[in-house]
Amino acid sequence: MLPGLRLTLGFTLFYLSAIVLIPLAALVLRAAHIGWDGFLDVLSSQRVQSAFRVTFSISFLAAAIDMVLGLLVAWVLVRYRFPGRRLLDALVDLPIALPTAVAGITLTELYATNGWLGAPLARLGITVDFTWLGILVALTFVGLPFVVRTVEPVMADLDHDIEEAARTLGATPLQIFLRVLLPPLLPALMTGFTLAFGRAIGEYGSVIFIAGNAPGSTEIVPLLIVIKLEEYDYVGAAVLGALMLAFSFVLMFAINGLTNWSNKRLGH
């Protein structure tokens, strides 16, 4: 039998305080210690601005690609039965289970100019490793499962009779997708996009090996935070960490809002 409310509530509050609230509060207080002038001084650095621009722009693009690819993968897993389907379904979760450093090394080997995938691309004049394309590949890789696993259960619950009715009324496959299937899938797609975007902006291990980490072009914010810590610039690292924390809270509220919207659309 579970213990009473007081004991469980006390344990919950202690756990949240020790593991989550106190470390986050320490980070915010350390960043707030320098005041607004010091805060703006850190943000005025060209290197910091470039890192934020690279991180957020490529993360947004990767999440958009994941939204399209995740929809296709979820469609295949839900609508078709074929040999190897269970293996493909298991491989979808590989980016989550795989250590990020291992993923980064593997992607670097594959997309290097002499790698299995990088060599054919290099002959076409496309260089992936140590460019922004390398960051895009890594972030797309780690974010795909979030879209697939968010869209898959919603797609499985879709009523096939509505599609058949639209088909008998003369609707084309494109019209069926845009007017019948996409509206109920849109909230789940947006939730998956937000989850993939949130994962991408905080990604570190899978990016640093393939990005090249050149300041101003392929340097991401998580790496810049680590560099500032190595340079004993703890205040600067705290400021960047506090900004990323604030954006994480914004994403968290956005995900909760999208989830509630999705539940209302589905009548749950």
CATH code: domain of residue 258: 1.10.3720.10
The verdict on residue 190 lying in a domain is yes
The verdict on residue 195 lying in a domain is yes
The verdict on residue 4 lying in a domain is no
The verdict on residue 17 lying in a domain is no
The verdict on residue 47 lying in a domain is yes
Angstrom distance (rounded) from CA 150 to CA 197: 14
Per-residue pLDDT, averaged over 141-158, amounts to 92
Angstrom distance (rounded) from CA 267 to CA 104: 41
- Whether the pLDDT of residue 56 is over 90: the answer is yes
The verdict on residue 110 lying in a domain is yes
Three-state SS letters, 119-186: HHHHHCCCCCCCCHHHHHHHHHHHHHHHHHHHHHHHHHCCCHHHHHHHHHCCCCHHHHHHHHHHHHHH
Query: Per residue in 86-133, pLDDT tens?
Result: 999 999 999 988 888 899 999 999 999 888 999 999 999 999 989 999
**Residue-number span of the structural domain to which 64 is assigned:** 25-266
The verdict on residue 181 lying in a domain is yes
Buried residues in 122-150 as b, exposed as e (16+ CB within 10 A): beeeeebbbbbbbbbbbbbbbbbbbbbbb
Structure-token pair, residue 26: 């320490």
Q: How many distinct structural domains can be found in the chain? A: 1
pTM score, two decimals? 0.86
The verdict on residue 245 lying in a domain is yes
